[in-house]
A and B are shown apart, each in its own frame.
Chain A
Amino acid sequence: MNKIVFAVSLSLVISSNAFSYRLNKVAEAGARWQSFPVAMKINPTNSGLSAEEIMRVLNLSMDKWNAGTEVNILSGTLDYNAQAAAAMDVDGVNIIAFSANFREDSNGFDPKSAVAIGGQYGNGSAMSDAFIIFNAEVVGWNTDTSKSAVEKSYSDDLQTIMMHESGHVLGLGHSDLTTAAMSASRQTQVIRELTSDDVTGAKYLISTGPSGAGAPYGSAESGYGSTERRGSSSSIGGCGAINTNGSTGNGSTGAAGAMMLLPMLVLVFLRKKLTVTNN
């Protein structure tokens, strides 16, 4: 009996550790988008691609998230008034833009080394003001991977990057799974499909938001014991990813940690109980 309980609990622990997604700082602090879709205004100026091509690829990227989660969570509209210079303003407007003056528009980044910045603000329980700014000074985009790289010092696959940045807009951090769209250490240049890890992370954010119906993907709060807080405000400094073990490096699970914790507790509880019973 003891062995059966141990085996069942062990399999629960192993199966519950399948997800590696993490939440970003704002989501980890409890903020969620209050309604969907998150509407992005897209300005293709300076991208080096036509507006049609930009809109095609960006909408394709967002549709991957919509299809994966079966919720219309992201949408994009062409808007030439959405300026890169205003992308990081706290004004209720969500902007995707390509900057030809990245140092100024990114408010302090070195234009020689930065490729893109993206994220959103959080105010209490609500997310707002998502932004994605691409550095058009150094980055050129491939939308057809069969063609050779464009003539910029850095080139990347636009759909891969957009799927990744869209995940950040939704509230995801980096995943430890190297095949995930949200991986920070992807092994291939092109990832144009979401993994179940990405989708589960997004569904978790939806289900724990105001339009969600509970938290079927695990409780975000219960698993986190190491969130670093600064001063008296609720802002979270330092580590952008959630760790259940206090480290900031590799290996620990993120939101999935909560799911891992429960079977482990069951295991400990049952083993204790059996020991008492056997005695």
Chain B
Amino acid sequence: MKRYVCGTIFSLAMLVATNGSATTLMRMTDDELVANSKYIVAGHVQKIETRLERNNAPFQYITIKVLKVFKQDENSPLLQNEEFTIRQIGGEVLGVSLSIDGLPKFVENEDVVVCLEQDTYRGFYYVVGSAQGMYHVANNDLINDTTQDNTMFARKGENGEITFGKGEVRKTTINNLQNKIDNAINNEEAAR
């Protein structure tokens, strides 16, 4: 029995994997995030399931229940109380652990606001702007924190020049976000 337990622990220890990644993202402002997102919703992270897929890489399936819809694709709407799933590489399962810089880090039972696009091939959703497109909700404040990993941000200037910087903590409010979304929708309609 002791030998079996030791063997199991050893096998699991051998499986434990970390990942050192470094990601370069184009910095997107809140306005750019709004303009580039098909959906923007407030939701509750119901559960996060991690599965080992293709060649032992862990993938996260993040199920979110919609609390409020700010921006919508009328052709394929997300409804209040509906659940949808984000799929992205990373997570921890069967001793294999993978943390990818630049992807949003979800926590179960947390309220978030996410900017979304749908992967029409699989039907899953992904976060627009990657780590930049997910806000933690704290009362009426929305907080996006990209300082916690090894992501480098590139910003394009007015003359096309690129500058680089580290992550930052960005704060806004639900009201501000709603105003930006309203403006973006008005601009889109005016452009049609």
Contacts and interface: CB of A to CB of B under 8 A. Distances in A.
Given A107-B88, A108-B130, 14 more contacts: A24-B22, A25-B19, A107-B89, A108-B100, A108-B103, A109-B103, A110-B129, A110-B133, A113-B25, A231-B92, A233-B16, A233-B97, A234-B16, A240-B21
A108 B86 CA distance: 9
Q: Which of B23, B59, B133 has the most CB of A within 10 A?
A: B23
Q: Which of A116, A138, A153, A231 has the most CB of B within 10 A?
A: A116
B46 interface: no
A230 B97 contact: yes
Given A24-B150, A110-B117, A110-B126, A240 B161 contact: no
Given A117-B102, A184-B164, A230 B92 contact: yes
Contacts of B121: 104
Contact of B128 (A26, A110, A168, A250): A110
B17 interface: yes
A237 B16 contact: no
Interface stretch (A56-64, A120-128, A258-266): A120-128
Contacts, number: 200
A185 B128 contact: no
Nearest to A183: B164
Q: Which of B101, B130, B150 has the most CB of A within 10 A?
A: B150
B99 A25 contact: yes
Interface of B: 13-26, 28, 36, 54-57, 59, 86-90, 92, 95, 97-103, 105, 117, 119, 121, 126-130, 132-133, 147-152, 154, 156, 160-166
A235 B18 contact: yes
Nearest to B116: A110
A174 B97 CA distance: 22
Contacts of B54: 89
A27 B25 contact: no
Contacts of A86: 55
Contacts of A124: 13-14, 16
A236 B99 contact: yes
Q: Which of A113, A174, A233, A239 has the most CB of B within 10 A?
A: A113
Given A89-B54, A110-B129, A112-B36, A184 B20 contact: no
Given A117-B100, A149-B160, A241-B150, A90 B55 contact: yes
Q: Which of A28, A108, A116, A154 has the most CB of B within 10 A?
A: A108
Interface string A133-151: 0000010000000000100
B22 A114 contact: no
B127 to A, nearest CB: 7
Contact of A240 (B20, B24, B36, B129): B20
B59 A107 contact: yes
A248 B164 contact: no
13 contacts: A88-B57, A90-B55, A90-B57, A113-B28, A117-B24, A153-B156, A185-B164, A231-B97, A233-B95, A234-B97, A235-B16, A238-B148, A250-B166
B22 A249 contact: no
A240 B154 contact: no
Interface in A195-231: 230-231
A88 B23 contact: no
B18 A31 contact: yes
A19 to B, nearest CB: 18
Contacts of A183: 164
A118 B23 CA distance: 6
A115 interface: yes
